[in-house]
């Protein structure tokens, strides 16, 4: 005698509820925090307090004072609407720059970079790499005669 499977059994309903619970749900956007402060709190802080939160190298850059070219870029970026083109790669990112677009020169071309909150404390140049990884072709191509030999497997 064959057993009948009841469609509404308790085991099936438990399995169905487990499956529903483990299904991928729409992710909620996680709130950005920089050292425990939200972006709004960072924007409301005085500049001296923001400097205390930055990493040592970025903090030292601002404490020693920006040079003339850095100061020009700093002032342009603070109240920029359109993308700002620059060769200066050594300016640390502060919360006031978030949301702005900067075109950073990498030695060959300008790379457009939109500044995000996660970039605070980093330098502009970190987001426009100057070197490209080599892309090799097959083994031994164009090398000596002996290196062209590839054993059959």
Domain tally, the chain: 1
pLDDT at 9: 81
Structure-token pair, residue 94: 């502060």
**Helix, strand or coil, per DSSP, at residue 144:** coil
CATH number, domain of 79, equals: 3.30.860.10
CB 111 within 8 A of CB 127: yes
- Mapping DSSP onto H, E and C, the string for 80-140 reads CCCCEEECCCCCECCHHHCCCEEEEECCCCEEEEECCHHHCCCEHHHHCCCCCCCCCCCCC
Enclosing domain of residue 71 = 39-127
- For residue 112, give Cα distances in angstroms to 82, 97, 100, 109, 123: 12, 14, 10, 10, 15
Q: Which residue has the tokens 């970025």?
A: 58
68 part of a folded domain: yes
Low-confidence ranges of the chain (pLDDT < 50): none
141 part of a folded domain: no
pTM to 2 decimal places? 0.70
The closest alpha carbon to 106, from 84, 131, 133, 85, belongs to 131
115 part of a folded domain: yes
65 part of a folded domain: yes
64 part of a folded domain: yes
DSSP element (H, E) containing 66: none
120 part of a folded domain: yes
pLDDT at 53: 96
CA distance 103 to 113: 6
Instruction: Quote the DSSP letter at residue 34.
Output: B
23 part of a folded domain: no
95 part of a folded domain: yes
pLDDT at 121: 96
pLDDT digits 0-9 by tens, 50-67: 999 999 999 999 999 999
């Amino acid at each position: 005698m064959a057993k009948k499977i009841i469609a509404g059994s308790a085991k099936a309903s438990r399995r169905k509820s487990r499956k529903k619970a483990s299904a991928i749900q729409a992710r909620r956007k996680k709130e950005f925090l920089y050292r425990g402060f939200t972006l709004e709190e960072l924007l409301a802080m005085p500049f001296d307090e923001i400097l205390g939160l930055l990493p040592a190298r970025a903090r030292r850059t601002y404490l020693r004072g920006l040079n003339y070219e850095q100061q020009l870029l700093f002032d342009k970026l603070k109240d920029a609407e359109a993308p700002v083109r620059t060769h200066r790669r050594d300016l640390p990112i502060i919360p006031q720059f978030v949301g702005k677009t900067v075109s950073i020169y990498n030695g060959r071309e300008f790379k457009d970079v939109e500044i995000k909150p996660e970039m605070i404390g980093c330098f502009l140049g970190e987001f426009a790499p100057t070197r490209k990884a080599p892309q090799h072709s097959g083994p031994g191509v164009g090398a000596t005669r002996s290196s062209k030999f590839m054993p059959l497997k």
